[in-house]
Amino acid sequence: MQNSDRNIAGPYDSKDLNAPLEVANFGSISFTPNSLVSVRAEVEQESGKMIAIAFDYKQSSLQVQAFSSPKGASIWNEVVEDISNSLMSQGVRVESQVGAFGLELIAELPDQSLKSSTVRMFGYGGDRWLLRGTIVGAAVSEIDERAFLEDIFRGIVVNRGETPMPPRELLPLELPAGAIVPKGSLE
C-alpha cells in the first residue's frame, strides 16, 4: 500500500505547504510541542550521537527515527521484512498486521527483567525518507493512548536535506538551541 492510498494528513515533508509551521526543530525531525508529552533525545552510548526522539505520554512511549530512502519508492515493506526476520531469528514472536499507517509489526521483546514487553513498529515513507515509529507501553493495546501517539506521529515534519545518502541511513538529529541537557548526557 502506497502512502498516497491512505487517507491521513501526515507525517509531512519539510517542503509540504500543509506542514505545521510552529515546531520544535531537532534537525531531520520537527514536531509541534504538546504540553501533555515529555520529549527525550535518545543517544547512542558509544558515539554520543543522537539517534532517536521519544515522546512519553501517560504509560506509553513513541520512539521516532528518520532514515534516507530512494526517491519515489517506499522501502517500508522491505524494512518490515528485515526487522521481522531479524527478530524471529532471535526467537522473538512477531506478527504483522495492517494499522493506521499500513503494514506494521507487533513483537514481544525481552527486557532487562527477563519479562517481555509488547512493541508496535510502523512506518511512513515520504520523498526520499522513511519515518519509523515504535510504540511501547499501554498504547500498544489501549485505544485512546494509541490514537494520541499516532496523532503525534502524524504531526511530525521530516527534513531530508539535499545531501546524497544511501538508503536506510539514519538522518541526522540535533538538539534545538536552548535545549536543557543533563550534564554528561551528550558529548
Domain membership of residue 27 as a residue range: 3-158
Within a domain: 128: yes
Q: In Å, how far from its chain's centre is CA 172? A: 13
CATH code: domain of residue 119 = 2.60.120.1690
**Cα separation, 100 vs 104, whole angstroms:** 9
Q: Tell me how far apart the alpha carbons of residues 45 and 99 are, in angstroms, rounded to a whole number.
A: 32
> What local confidence, expressed as pLDDT, does residue 87 receive?
94
The pLDDT value given to residue 74: 83
Question: Number of folded domains in the chain?
Answer: 1
Q: Please tell me the distance from the alpha carbon of residue 40 to that of residue 30, in angstroms, as a whole number.
A: 13
pLDDT reported for residue 175 = 86
Which one, of 3, 10, 7, 57, lies nearest residue 155 by Cα?
A: 10
Bond prior to 33 in cis (omega within 30° of 0): no
At residue 81, the pLDDT reads 95
Check residue 86 and give left, alpha or beta (phi > 0: left; psi -120 to 50: alpha). alpha
In a domain, 187, yes or no: no
Residue 163 lies in a domain: no
pTM of the model: 0.88
Q: What is the pLDDT along the chain (187 residues), one digit of tens a residue?
A: 334 443 458 899 999 999 998 999 999 999 999 999 999 999 998 998 999 999 999 999 999 999 999 988 789 999 999 999 999 999 999 999 999 999 999 999 887 666 778 999 999 999 899 999 999 999 999 999 999 999 999 999 999 999 999 999 999 999 887 665 554 544 4
Per-residue model confidence (pLDDT) at position 187: 45
Strands (E) in 47-172, as ranges, are 50-57, 60-68, 94-99, 102-110, 116-126, 129-137, 157-158
185 lies in a domain?
Answer: no
pLDDT given at position 73: 79
pLDDT at 152: 96
DSSP-based three-state secondary structure for 146: helix
Q: How far apart are CA 139 and CA 146, in angstroms?
A: 4
- Whether 182 maps to a domain, the answer reads no
Residue 135 lies in a domain: yes
Residue 168 falls within a domain, yes or no? no
| Assigned domain for 165 exists | no
